[in-house]
Chain A
C-alpha cells in the first residue's frame, strides 16, 4: 500500500435552510477527500456532487445524514467516477423522515475500463417515522473494468418493534427507546465530523421526532 503523503481534505456541510450544494472535486494521485452532508429540518435541498478520481490511489469518503420533517424535500445526486486504477470510494447515506418529508437519493458509480482494482462502496438507508414520509433510493453501477470491488445497498424501513419491546421490557420508556434507536441509526455517517458537531445529534433528532 502506497503511503499517502498528499493532500487530504475534509469538509462538513450542515444544511438547515433551502440552500443547495453543487460540488465537483477532482482528486489527483494519492489525494484523499472526506465530505459530510447534514441536512436538517423542513428544508428543500438539491445537492449535486460529482467526484472524479483522476489519479491513482485517490480515496474519497462521502457521508450524508438527513433528519427531516414537515414538507422537506431533499435530493442527493451523486456521481462517483473512477477514471483510473487503484482508487477507493465509500459512501454512506442515512436518512430519517417524519411528517410528509421526502428524500431522493440517486447515486451513480462509474468505473471506466482503465480503472482496475477500484474499490467502490455505497450504502443508503432510510427510516420513516410517519405514514406520509417517503424515501427513494436509486443506486446505479456502471462498471466497465473487470477486476474491481463494487458494492451497494439501499433500504427503507421503520422503527423495529422487536427492539423497542426488548428495550421497554428492561424499563426503558417508549420515547427513550425510540430515541435510542434513532440515535444508533443516525450515528454512523458522523464518523468524520468533529465531536462537537456529533454532540448535536440528539437535539437534531428531538427536533424532528417530538
Chain B
C-alpha cells in the first residue's frame, strides 16, 4: 500500500529525514517510536503533504502512485489521513460544518452526490458515539475549548467519518488521561480492518496495548535504525533508546 524509499526532507536548511525506507502493506499496523527530535512528526507531515517542508530526494509510492507532487487534499481523497499531534482550533467553524465540507468534497471526487442532511447527521451521531463524544460537540467550533483528550477523540471521530485507507496517527496518546487513552486506542483499533493500514507514532508502550502493531520501527536522527515485532515496545519502555542507539553506532 505504501512504499517509502530513501526519503530525505528538510525544513528550512535543516535536513530532518535522512533516508527513510518503509513498506506498509494492507492490514498492517506499524508503530514508529524514537526520542524527541528524531523526525517522527516530520515524517507524518511529509506523508500528508505539508508544504513548509521540502523533500529533497526519495519517493513515496501510495497504492502504486508517487504522491510527492500531490496536494494535501488530493492525498486525503486518495485515502491518507493524518491524526494531528496538535489538532488545530478553528473558531467560528462548527465541527459538523467542517466534516460536511470534507465528506462532500470526498464524495464529489468519487462522483457522488452530496450527502443528504439526514444521512449526514445520522453518520455524525454514530461516529461520535463511537468515540464516546457527546453529540453537542458537533455544533461546537472545531477544537475550540476542547481538552487535550477531547481534541484527540475528535481526531479519531474525523478518522471514523473519512474511513481512510492509511491512517497516520501522530502521538495520538500525548496529553491523554487513562480513559481518553482507552477510547482513542480502542477507537483506532476498531477502525482497523484487512483493507486499511495504520502508522502509529508514539513515545510510549501504553497506546500499543490497545493498538497492537505488527512492526515497531525506531526512528533516530532521521533514519530508521531498528525494526522489530511488538515486543520491542516493552523493551524500550524498560531500557529506553540508548542501547538501540549504541548498537547502531
Binding site for B on A (CB under 8 A): 161-163, 165-174, 176, 180-181, 184-185, 187-188
List B contacts of A187 (CB < 8 A). Answer: 92
Supposing A161-B52, A165-B50 touch, asked if A171 and B91 sit within 8 A by C-beta, the answer is no
13 additional contacts (CB under 8 A) given A161-B52, A184-B93: A166-B84, A167-B90, A167-B98, A167-B102, A168-B72, A169-B49, A170-B76, A170-B162, A171-B73, A171-B76, A171-B77, A171-B105, A172-B105
Per the bound structure, the CA–CA distance linking A172 and B74 in Å amounts to 9
Binding site for A on B (CB under 8 A): 48-52, 71-73, 75-77, 81-82, 84, 87-88, 90-93, 98-99, 101-102, 105-106, 109, 158, 162
Quote the shortest CB–CB distance from B21 to chain A (angstroms). 24
Supposing A173-B105, A176-B105 touch, asked if A168 and B71 sit within 8 A by C-beta, the answer is yes
Quote the shortest CB–CB distance from A150 to chain B (angstroms). 24
Supposing A184-B92, A185-B92 touch, asked if A171 and B106 sit within 8 A by C-beta, the answer is yes
List the 4 closest pairs (A to B, CB-CB), nearest first: A184-B92, A171-B76, A168-B72, A166-B88
Contact (Cβ within 8 A) B73 A168: yes
- Minimal Cβ-Cβ distance residue in A for B161: A170
- Minimal Cβ-Cβ distance residue in A for B102: A170
Please report the number of residue pairs spanning A and B whose Cβ atoms sit closer than 8 angstroms.
64
Quote the shortest CB–CB distance from A198 to chain B (angstroms). 14
Per the bound structure, the CA–CA distance linking A182 and B76 in Å amounts to 22
List A contacts of B98 (CB < 8 A). Answer: 167, 170
| 26 pairs, CB–CB < 8 Å, chain A vs chain B | A162-B88, A163-B88, A163-B90, A165-B50, A165-B72, A167-B101, A167-B102, A168-B49, A168-B71, A168-B73, A169-B49, A169-B72, A169-B76, A170-B76, A170-B98, A170-B99, A170-B158, A170-B162, A171-B76, A171-B105, A171-B109, A171-B162, A172-B105, A174-B71, A184-B91, A188-B92
Per the bound structure, the CA–CA distance linking A166 and B158 in Å amounts to 12
List A contacts of B48 (CB < 8 A). Answer: 169
Q: Which of B75, B82, B87, B92 has the most CB of A within 10 A?
A: B92
List A contacts of B105 (CB < 8 A). Answer: 171-173, 176
Per the bound structure, the CA–CA distance linking A174 and B162 in Å amounts to 18
List A contacts of B76 (CB < 8 A). Answer: 168-171
List B contacts of A165 (CB < 8 A). Answer: 50-51, 72, 88
Quote the shortest CB–CB distance from A80 to chain B (angstroms). 26
Per the bound structure, the CA–CA distance linking A165 and B50 in Å amounts to 7
Quote the shortest CB–CB distance from B213 to chain A (angstroms). 23
Per the bound structure, the CA–CA distance linking A169 and B142 in Å amounts to 14
Quote the shortest CB–CB distance from A155 to chain B (angstroms). 13
Contact (Cβ within 8 A) B102 A171: yes
List B contacts of A163 (CB < 8 A). Answer: 88, 90
List A contacts of B82 (CB < 8 A). Answer: 169
Per the bound structure, the CA–CA distance linking A170 and B157 in Å amounts to 12
List A contacts of B84 (CB < 8 A). Answer: 166, 169
List B contacts of A168 (CB < 8 A). Answer: 49, 71-73, 76
Quote the shortest CB–CB distance from B231 to chain A (angstroms). 33
List A contacts of B87 (CB < 8 A). Answer: 166
Per the bound structure, the CA–CA distance linking A174 and B71 in Å amounts to 9
Quote the shortest CB–CB distance from B162 to chain A (angstroms). 7
List B contacts of A174 (CB < 8 A). Answer: 71, 73
- Minimal Cβ-Cβ distance residue in A for B105: A171
List A contacts of B93 (CB < 8 A). Answer: 180, 184
Contact (Cβ within 8 A) B90 A166: yes
Per the bound structure, the CA–CA distance linking A93 and B75 in Å amounts to 38
Per the bound structure, the CA–CA distance linking A155 and B185 in Å amounts to 40
Per the bound structure, the CA–CA distance linking A168 and B162 in Å amounts to 13
Contact (Cβ within 8 A) B72 A184: no
Per the bound structure, the CA–CA distance linking A162 and B98 in Å amounts to 15
